[in-house]
Amino acid sequence: MAILNILEFPDSRLRTIAKPVAVVDDGIRQLVDDMFETMYEAPGIGLAATQVNVHKRVVVMDLSEDRSDPRVFINPEFDILTDEVEQYQEGCLSVPGFYENVDRPQKVKIRALDRDGQPYELIAEGLLAVCVQHECDHLNGKLFVDYLSTLKRDRIKKKLEKLHKQNA
Ligand code: QAP
Ligand code: CO
């Protein structure tokens, strides 16, 4: 297992569109394990492979308090099941220290492969629905800050750029 480096906004590599996984093999399972270790260490509740500069459609998530509910989504897709939107305060390991409200559809039906390559479906509401949409966005090169005003996004960008310069 290994802790992977997490890319931070405004790194242009976060804009890469991830490729579908053709075969769920041991290499993908190794990536999944490393992503869990990286997410738990951060700590976070969700991580997309894009964030660790691997451009494959792989997401890991654990919304439990005690890290007892690891979920794997390979080649995830979702359908929106309701017109209702819900506002959640979102954060992101790639946008550390910033949390903003985002509106998203409240109920989705998810299709994905598990770590054995078996397809499954899941109806999600609440935080799970929000988190799946947030992580699927990463696989398409999109970040939660893209839903904010240009002013807010530019402020976050400048602050993070300043921090990155200080740390360089
Ligand atoms: C995505 O985000 C998410 O700023 C997962 O300093 C979050 O795990 C979807 C984190 C909220 C929906 C709602 C963020 C850790 C973790 C930070 C995360 C930070 C340290 C974020
Ligand atoms: Co994120």
Local confidence pLDDT in tens for the 168 residues of the chain? 899 999 999 999 999 999 999 999 999 999 999 999 999 999 999 999 999 999 999 999 999 999 999 999 999 999 999 999 999 999 999 999 999 999 999 999 999 999 999 999 999 999 999 999 999 999 999 999 999 999 999 999 999 999 999 998
Contact 88 CB / ligand 1 (< 6 Å): yes
Instruction: For ligand 1, say whether the CB of 44 is within 6 Å of any of its atoms.
Output: yes
pLDDT number for residue 1: 85
Instruction: Record the tokens describing residue 130, joined without a space.
Output: 């929000």
Which ligand lies nearest to the CA atom of residue 137 in the structure? 2
For residue 98, give the ligand 1 atom closest to its CA: 4
| Cβ–Cβ under 8 Å, residues 73 and 112 | yes
How close is the Cα of 31 to the center of ligand 1, in Å? Answer: 20
Q: Which residues contact 132 (CB under 8 A, 6 or more apart)?
A: 59, 61, 73, 76, 78, 108, 110, 124
Asked if residue 163 has its Cβ within 6 Å of ligand 1, the reply is: no
